[in-house]
Copies of this chain bind each other. A is one copy, B any other.
């Protein structure tokens, strides 16, 4: 059975935009493992019943089914120990980075790009997405992102820990990327896949880091559909 990764997309099956799916995409590439992308749309929960899970990514690796990007990363290191490690040391050591990413990057990016996402979706998923997100934010998606240009300086300032780290080493993982890089890169790929908003200034060392990630694995991420930002 071929290795399959169920991934979130909209009407364009090539435009994978979930930050969690990008973590798993990068993780598979990091391990040098080929996979077939299986397009999955919001509301298609029935199609994930086999995994006893309601969200992507879901990895099917032969007879093994693994749901959740964090579980996938740990599974890949356990199942393929002879290939480059994703997690160095104990997984607990990555929890703070993941929490920083989720509370600072994902939350911050969401408030700047969420109104760009409905245009990527078919009618049924669009209705689900708009309703669920407007409920979450308590306002229309256009209202959420109305001041996004004004939010950019604070968002960029919040990346300062990355800049300090990048003075010492080119990747979260040190001299080479590891799963911490893929976690954070996934957030930037979410923005890049969904929105024309330019999150990073060209002279920012975080931009240079993102360029290095875009170049990995023969430019896998760089070739993905995006808005050029």
Interface class of chain A by DSSP: helix
* Assembly CA distance A160 to B160 (angstroms): 16
> A153: shortest Cβ distance to chain B, in Å?
15
Is A218 engaged at the interface, CB distance under 8 Å to the other chain? no
Please tell me the number of chain A residues within 8 Å of chain B, measured between CB atoms. 30
Among residues 86 to 131 in chain A, which have CB atoms less than 8 Å away from a CB atom of chain B? 88-90, 92-100, 102-104
Binds B, one of A10-18, A37-45, A144-152, A161-169: A161-169
Interchain CB contact under 8 A, B172 and A96: yes
Give the Cβ gap from A162 to chain B, nearest Cβ, in Å. 7
A97 CB contact (under 8 Å) in B88, B96, B163, B168: B96
- Asked if A225 is at the interface (CB within 8 A of a chain B CB), the reply is no
Contact residue among B103, B163, B169, B180 (Cβ-Cβ distance under 8 Å from A164): B103
Instruction: Tell whether A175 is near chain B: CB-to-CB under 8 Å.
Output: yes
**Which residues of chain B are near A103, meaning CB under 8 Å?**
160-161, 164
Q: Does A174 count as interface, using CB distance less than 8 angstroms? A: yes
CA distance A94 to B161 in the complex (A): 12
Chain B nearest CB, measured from A70 CB (Å): 10
Taking the closest CB of chain B, its distance from the CB of A97, in whole angstroms, is: 6
Please report the C-alpha to C-alpha distance between residue A137 and residue B160 in the assembled complex, in whole angstroms.
18
A92 closest partner in B (C-beta): B174
- In A140-197, the 8 Å CB interface with B consists of 160-165, 168-169, 171-175, 178, 180
Q: In the complex, what's the smallest C-beta–C-beta distance from A107 to chain B, in angstroms?
A: 9
Contact of A168 among B95, B104, B162, B175 (CB under 8 A): B95
* Shortest distance between the CB of A54 and any CB in chain B (Å): 20
In the complex, residue of chain B having the shortest beta-carbon distance to the beta carbon of A107: B160
| Interchain CB contact under 8 A, A165 and B93 | no
A-B contact pairs, 7 of them (CB 8 A): A93-B173, A95-B165, A96-B97, A96-B100, A96-B162, A103-B164, A104-B160
